Structure 1
Amino acid sequence: MMAHRTGSKQLLRDLNKNIVLNLIAHGKSISRSELARRSGLPGATITHIVNEFISAGLINEVTEGTSGNGRPPLFLQLNAEAGYVIGVVIDVKLQEQRAQIVVCDLSCTIIHSYEKVIGEDWTPYKVVESIAEGIKQCAQEANVPLKRVLGVGVGLAGLIDSHRGICRYSPFFKWKNIELGPALEFLLHIPVRIDNDVNTLTVAERQFGVGRDMTNFLMVVVGRGVGLGVVVGGEIYRGARGGAGEFGHIKVDTREQAPLCHCGRRGCLEAFVSEYALVRAATGIDEESQTDALLQQLITRADAGDAAALKIFTDAGNILGSSLAHLIHLFDPVCIMLGRLPGKNLLLDPMKAAIACSPSLSQREEDPVQMIQSIEDSNTQWLRGAASLIVRELFQPPLYDSQPRILIDDILARTGRTPTRKRR
């Protein structure tokens, strides 16, 4: 359990800054008087903080309309170009590891993107060097000096200890206990945060998508594997060691001859509903380099009404829906957001039907769990999610001793107004 910061004048100042920054950022534009009213802070405190933010370039004064005496009123807006963040998603396609990299402003708007192909040498230090080179190249092409980058967020599949920046296990690289975050920080000299890639997608939906007003929801993604992001009380739930959300490896078939999962066990959910599982059910082929093409052929057959192809998707959808019903019982979410689904409605319709058939859930007809298919098959939201690992720290209340250095200070320190503090 994280220890709270003890009461002090510095804690009070940090909290006041956080309140003001969030009101300005989330209000789009707001006046000083409205800031004072909504924050409950004295006018003098508002004036001091606002002047500090303006001097550092963190916010701008803008005019909107006119007042009764003809003088336009002044409003405050977040300056999205006061700093930049970088998002990285490590992706795999046909056995080729790639780092998709973007530079974003503080609103997480992508201003430049870059792709770095990682070589055949997957030893940790070689991969870290390759990613660092790609980050530097992306920033250079975007004309953003690294000194203006507040931090780098990295999303990758596997078991990730986000608090320590450690990749506990990577199914693609076959890494175990690699200090990816600290290694990148050493090469780049800027903060680095890493997380499971489905968690980064979930963060993006929580901050910028349909989850902005939801404090309890689940994100489910079905692709090469099955991923789960969990939001409880407005925050991502990662578990004690970063392993929460390994939904794809719950056992749904206990038979000795159950399908083999890529994790080496039999009967995992992933072995029934993932892309390779669908292809294997149709062709008997379990060759990763052929999965994309064979899956598209299977979808085309099902769309054309092929009974055998339709049955594969129906069976997989039933199994996925029954498994999701268990999650609904455990978490009672407002909604389940669905990322990538192979064949989309081919899997979605039987999945919904299976959930509706759950005896206890069938009693919730007046208040059913929403199903929202919110993510298109593009990397944009995944990359914004990775960048959001840094942006969200800018707006988090600075309540805990173990939190990283307050990112507001990184911007304010450029003016010499804020003393340098030690990062974790």
Structure 2
Amino acid sequence: MARSGRLSPSGDQRESGRQQILDVIRAAESIARIDIAKATGVSPATVTAITAELLAAGLIEEVAPESSSEARRGRPRVALKIRGGAHLIAGLKVSHHVISTVITDFVGEELASHEMPLAQGRMPVPVLCSQIRRALELTCQKGGFTIDDLSGVGLGLAGMIDAERSFIYWSSSLEERNVPFGEAIARELPCPVFLDNDANLVAKAEHLFGEGRTCDNFIVITIEHGVGMGIVIDGKIYRGTRGCGAEFGHTKVHLEGALCQCGQRGCLEAYVGDYALLREANISSGSERHRTLASLFQAAEKGDAMALSILDRARRMFAMGLANVVNIFDPTKIILAGARLSFDHLYSGKVIGEMRQWVVQVDAPLPEVIVHDWGDLMWAKGAAAYGIEEVTARTVKELANAAA
């Protein structure tokens, strides 16, 4: 499924102006036309013409001016804001055990959410597509609307994904490789689906709602079943040429080392991910002694030497990986985010201390490292924000085509 994407500098000037004005209105929440002109550098006459189009299309609405003595002295300044009812957008995050879904209006206000358990973590493409549809249907039922009411769906999966082509090279959620997933999911859903790596959508969520709101250059690292990374540079997600950039979990930390779920050996994830810790624990014990991470951590708390050794190695591997991230990117901050933060072996002061030892030393402060503990619905909110961006871009293109 090809995507409209964001507008290019060489695109239609009027189209670019519509997008720019919508972005300014969304960022400001409500803003007068004259202030839009100041913020964008677009002439007041052009702002008036474009906002008239956006009002007619139902994308924005006027906000009545406040009744104040200052407003009564002259002509009141009517403000504009995004019209929440213009579109319904869904955001989904597929994890190993659950699909988390949130549905928002066009402003981004949450209308309904749901978490649907999965019986299996890895499945064939048609099965995953049907599970995604089922998760959407259940969430829509909660909100009192139907799946046909949705204008777009943002979807996050773990794996190596070309977001521009909605193509999955590999995902821990799928049995197959090299899947044109956009085509498959389009057969299940009546609206456009915008696919991306789930860690990228966490970075988007952090930038819009979380610890990255005041920062345009930061890195998010997530740890769940696997290890993910989202990179924000100058306020934009960096994906790489093939859409496979930021694969922190698949950087190599041990020559011919442990087997990773991606099929290669020596990946960081193969020493740090959920499955890797349990695999090592059960191999070392010679039996399936630990079925959950909680069991492994409880053993470590009781002083079990094997459990302590496994977690200590994971901690050191992770600290080395963090140092490499700092040495390569030198970000303003690193956000350690996700649902695994109740297990703090990878988020402790000891990890950060070892990271600092392995970072190239200069006479300047090191990046701030922040731990942000939230659940899967935050991932889904990032996916919804992505969906809102893409639906906005598509709608602007449609306005441009209609005006041509």
TM-score range, shorter chain: 0.7 to 0.9
**Where do residues 270-289 of structure 1 align in structure 2 (5 Å cutoff)?**
270-284=269-283
The reply on whether 1:387 has 2:370 as its aligned counterpart is no
The amino acid across from 1:205 in the alignment is: E
Distance 1:286 1:267, change over 3 A: farther
- Give the whole-Å Cα distance in 1 for the aligned partners of 2:136 and 2:253: 41
CA contact (8 A) 1:158 1:170 kept: yes
CA contact (8 A) 1:116 1:131 kept: no
The amino acid across from 1:389 in the alignment is: Y
* Paired position in structure 2 for 1:66: 68
**Where do residues 85-124 of structure 1 align in structure 2 (5 Å cutoff)?**
85-93=89-97, 98-116=98-116, 122-124=123-125
- Give the whole-Å Cα distance in 1 for the aligned partners of 2:57 and 2:319: 51
Moved more, 277-286 or 323-332: 277-286
**1:141-162 Cα shifts (integer Å, max 9, x gaps):** 4234555532111111122121
**Where do residues 239-278 of structure 1 align in structure 2 (5 Å cutoff)?**
239-254=240-255, 258-278=257-277
The amino acid across from 1:356 in the alignment is: R
Q: Structure 2 residue aligned with 1:335, among 327, 333, 336?
A: 333
The amino acid across from 1:83 in the alignment is: H
Moved more, 180-189 or 157-166: 180-189
* Paired position in structure 2 for 1:398: none
- Give the whole-Å Cα distance in 2 for the aligned partners of 1:230 and 1:38: 27
CA contact (8 A) 2:15 2:396 kept: no
**1:374-418 Cα shifts (integer Å, max 9, x gaps):** 242x111110111122222356xxxxxxxxx632356xx6xxx97
What is the Cα deviation at residue 166 of structure 1?
1.5
CA contact (8 A) 2:268 2:318 kept: yes
What is the Cα deviation at residue 319 of structure 1?
1.7
CA contact (8 A) 1:198 1:229 kept: yes
SS state at 2:96 partner: strand
**1:294-325 Cα shifts (integer Å, max 9, x gaps):** x2133345557777655543432222111221
Distance 1:122 1:155, change over 3 A: same
The amino acid across from 1:213 in the alignment is: T
What is the Cα deviation at residue 279 of structure 1?
3.6
- Give the whole-Å Cα distance in 2 for the aligned partners of 1:319 and 1:36: 51
The amino acid across from 2:102 in the alignment is: V
- Give the whole-Å Cα distance in 1 for the aligned partners of 2:156 and 2:299: 34
* Paired position in structure 2 for 1:407: 395
**Where do residues 13-412 of structure 1 align in structure 2 (5 Å cutoff)?**
13-60=14-61, 61-68=63-70, 70=72, 73-93=77-97, 98-116=98-116, 122-144=123-145, 146=147, 148-254=149-255, 258-284=257-283, 293=292, 295-302=293-300, 309-310=307-308, 312-340=310-338, 341=340, 343-348=342-347, 349-358=349-358, 360=360, 362-364=361-363, 366-376=364-374, 378-393=375-390, 406-408=394-396
What is the Cα deviation at residue 76 of structure 1?
1.8
- Give the whole-Å Cα distance in 1 for the aligned partners of 2:225 and 2:15: 43
Distance 1:283 1:69, change over 3 A: closer
CA contact (8 A) 2:271 2:314 kept: yes
CA contact (8 A) 2:125 2:184 kept: no
- Give the whole-Å Cα distance in 2 for the aligned partners of 1:100 and 1:372: 24
The amino acid across from 1:351 in the alignment is: V
Percent identity at matched positions?
30
- Give the whole-Å Cα distance in 1 for the aligned partners of 2:289 and 2:163: 33
- Give the whole-Å Cα distance in 2 for the aligned partners of 1:69 and 1:4: 39
Extract unaligned runs of 5+ from structure 1: 396-404
**1:129-152 Cα shifts (integer Å, max 9, x gaps):** 342344245335423455553211
- Give the whole-Å Cα distance in 1 for the aligned partners of 2:296 and 2:337: 20
- Give the whole-Å Cα distance in 1 for the aligned partners of 2:303 and 2:240: 43
- Give the whole-Å Cα distance in 2 for the aligned partners of 1:266 and 1:69: 68
**1:60-110 Cα shifts (integer Å, max 9, x gaps):** 2233351436486432222222211111222222xxxx4332211223332
CA contact (8 A) 2:96 2:225 kept: no
- Give the whole-Å Cα distance in 2 for the aligned partners of 1:301 and 1:420: 67
- Give the whole-Å Cα distance in 1 for the aligned partners of 2:43 and 2:275: 60
* Paired position in structure 2 for 1:401: none
CA contact (8 A) 1:66 1:73 kept: no
- Give the whole-Å Cα distance in 2 for the aligned partners of 1:58 and 1:286: 60
Distance 1:82 1:344, change over 3 A: same
The reply on whether 1:419 has 2:383 as its aligned counterpart is no
**1:22-77 Cα shifts (integer Å, max 9, x gaps):** 22111122122222222222222222222222333322223335143648643222
- Give the whole-Å Cα distance in 1 for the aligned partners of 2:302 and 2:66: 55
- Give the whole-Å Cα distance in 2 for the aligned partners of 1:85 and 1:324: 35
- Give the whole-Å Cα distance in 2 for the aligned partners of 1:37 and 1:130: 47
Extract unaligned runs of 5+ from structure 2: 1-5
**1:164-214 Cα shifts (integer Å, max 9, x gaps):** 112222223221122221222233232111111112211211233222332
Distance 1:46 1:110, change over 3 A: same
The amino acid across from 1:393 in the alignment is: E
- Give the whole-Å Cα distance in 2 for the aligned partners of 1:306 and 1:124: 41
